[in-house]
């Protein structure tokens, strides 16, 4: 298959040249994803929250009250806020404190991720653990680089593979084909997606996040997590998610047969400006938190089992 | 087995503190309180999948097989492998220490 270097400066990935037939297929898939029927829809509460946030008279208390109307969602939100991904030293027990500490954008994206991950937990525990682990590393790296709002970077890590969920739900046949190709050709999932679908999950996730009006700080890292050099506004956050995805795979939190550590983009490495000692210290910090990820995942599974028994 | 982390229950209450030696009575209490998992020191229970150190190190090698040309990633690979080796060594040393009556342990292990 003819190949051309990826269009972005510093990129090391190679994109295959698309034939007319492949291009047509890609267009059809885009169309299918646009006319989605099965994709997770934005929970009604998010549009209400968006309206409230646009109103300067809205108070944190009012927002907290709205979220607490959905008990399950409120509980999940607090569980996420108190998990290792955000690393707050004190336990946050009220929604109001969570809103103040994390800010509206993070709360909004957490509500979305809580809904998406509900599906992920049922469908794909490995992807769930990979995403949680990625969020942990994002948080450690963001704090190390003294980024404003490290919580937003964690959230980007948590939902960076949103596109995989969308592809699996909307295109189950093609998704199975992708999984089979990953195994038979021993390639990364995004390469298999390019071959089967003509586009990959980062692009799908970015598009979906944009259609949900998530902030650019989240949309770009999702869209660019394989190619942070193509990020226009958030290159550093995209580089962090890119690196966290690599590190968590290196630590064995891959996805199904896609065990491969993807290439590190030179531009991302330049932006992070890490030395060997940084890698060691990050590994130190991350290790214990990853036990929490396992614990968190076990808690969720135990809760699901209890609910199923009660139901 | 010794707890490596506090066991907390709803409301952030500590049910059992780090360093506690687990006895059948304590484990039974955890079960009654619906505690789904705890973190214990060292590696007293076999790892999930029961892989040997050699197999684990080989798995890391495999994961990095497609990025052998990227220097920082080769460093990351080496460090991950070294940590596996060190944690096993620390685990065996601690098991020996425990046998000899000492219980100072640090490495995390998960016991579901």
| DSSP letter for each residue of A39-92 | SPPPPHHHHHHHHHHHSTT--HHHHHHHHHTSHHHHHHHHHHHTSTTT--SS--
Which one of B37, B62, B73 has the shortest CB-CB distance to A259? Answer: B62
CA distance A175 to chain B (A): 22
Q: Residue B25 has which token pair?
A: 């009575």
Task: Quote the strand ranges of chain B, DSSP E.
Answer: 7-9, 13-16, 38-41, 108-111
Which tens digit of pLDDT belongs to each residue from A111-162? 766 666 666 656 677 887 898 899 999 999 999 999 987 888 988 998 899 8
- Smallest Cβ–Cβ distance between A261 and the set B5, B12, B63 belongs to B63
Mean pLDDT over each residue of chain B, to the nearest integer: 76
ipTM of the complex, rounded to two decimals: 0.78
- pLDDT value at residue B112: 29
Residue A258: φ, ψ to 5°: -85, 80
Cβ-defined contact of A262 to B63 (cutoff 8 Å): no
Q: Which chain A residues have a beta carbon less than 8 Å from that of B77?
A: 250, 261
**Using 50, 70 and 90 to split pLDDT, how confident is the model at B40?**
confident
The confidence score (pLDDT) of residue B109 equals 35
Nearest to B77 among A250, A254, A259 (CB): A250
How far apart, in whole angstroms, are the C-alpha atoms of residue A268 and residue A10?
9
B79 touches chain A (CB under 8 A): yes
**What is the band of B107 on the pLDDT scale with cuts at 50, 70, 90?**
very low
Minimal CA separation from A24 to chain B, in Å: 31
**CA A114 – CA A111 distance, rounded (Å):** 5
pTM above 0.90, yes or no: no
pLDDT of res. A146: 95
Q: How many CB pairs under 8 A join A and B?
A: 73
Provide the shortest C-alpha distance from residue B64 to chain A (in Å). 5
pLDDT of residue B104: 37
Cβ pair A261, B63 in contact under 8 A: yes
Q: Using CA atoms, how far apart are residues A66 and B34, in angstroms rounded to an integer?
A: 30
Checking phi first, is residue A273 left (phi over 0); if not, alpha (psi -120 to 50) or beta?
A: left
pLDDT in tens, B60-86: 999 999 999 999 999 999 999 999 998
Other Cβ atoms less than 10 A from the Cβ of B80: the count is 20
pLDDT for residue A3: 41
Beta-bridged to residue A5, according to DSSP, are: A14
Residues with pLDDT less than 50, chain A:
1-14, 311
């Amino acid at each position: 298959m003819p190949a051309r270097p990826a269009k972005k400066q510093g990129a090391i990935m190679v994109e295959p040249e698309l034939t007319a037939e492949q291009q047509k297929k890609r267009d059809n898939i885009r169309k299918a994803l646009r006319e989605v029927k099965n994709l997770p829809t934005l929970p009604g509460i998010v549009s209400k929250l968006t309206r409230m946030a646009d109103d300067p008279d809205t108070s944190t208390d009012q927002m907290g009250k709205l979220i607490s109307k959905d008990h399950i969602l409120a509980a999940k939100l607090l569980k996420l806020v108190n998990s290792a991904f955000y690393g707050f030293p004190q336990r946050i027990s009220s929604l109001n404190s969570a809103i103040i500490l994390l800010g509206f954008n993070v709360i909004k994206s957490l509500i979305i991720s809580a809904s998406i991950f509900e599906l992920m937990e049922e469908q794909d525990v490995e992807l769930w653990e990979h995403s949680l682990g990625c969020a942990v590393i994002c948080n450690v790296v963001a704090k190390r680089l003294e980024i404003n709002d490290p919580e937003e970077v964690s959230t980007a890590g948590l939902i960076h593979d949103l596109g995989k969920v969308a592809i699996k739900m909307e295109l189950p046949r093609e998704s199975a084909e992708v999984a089979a190709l990953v195994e038979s050709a021993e390639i990364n999932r995004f390469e298999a997606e390019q071959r089967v679908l003509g586009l990959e999950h980062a692009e799908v996730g970015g598009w979906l996040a944009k259609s949900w009006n998530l902030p650019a700080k989240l949309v770009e890292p999702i869209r660019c997590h394989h190619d942070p050099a193509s990020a226009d506004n958030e290159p550093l956050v995209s580089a962090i998610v890119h690196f966290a995805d690599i590190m968590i795979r290196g630590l064995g939190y891959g996805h199904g047969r896609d065990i491969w550590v993807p290439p590190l983009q030179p531009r991302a490495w330049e932006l992070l400006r890490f030395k060997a000692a940084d890698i060691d210290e990050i590994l130190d910090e991350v290790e214990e938190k990853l036990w929490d990820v396992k614990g968190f995942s076990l808690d969720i599974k135990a809760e699901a089992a209890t609910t199923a028994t009660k139901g | 087995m010794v707890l490596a982390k506090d066991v907390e229950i709803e409301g952030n209450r500590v049910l059992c503190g780090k360093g506690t030696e687990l006895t059948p009575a304590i484990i039974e209490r955890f079960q009654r309180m619906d505690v789904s998992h705890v973190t214990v020191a060292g590696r007293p229970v076999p790892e999930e999948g029961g892989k040997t150190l050699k197999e684990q190190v080989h798995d890391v090698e495999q994961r990095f097989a497609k990025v052998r040309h990227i220097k920082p990633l080769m460093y990351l690979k080496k460090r991950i492998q070294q940590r596996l080796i060190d944690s096993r060594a620390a685990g065996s040393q601690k098991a020996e220490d425990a046998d000899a009556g000492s219980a100072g342990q640090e490495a995390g292990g998960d016991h579901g």
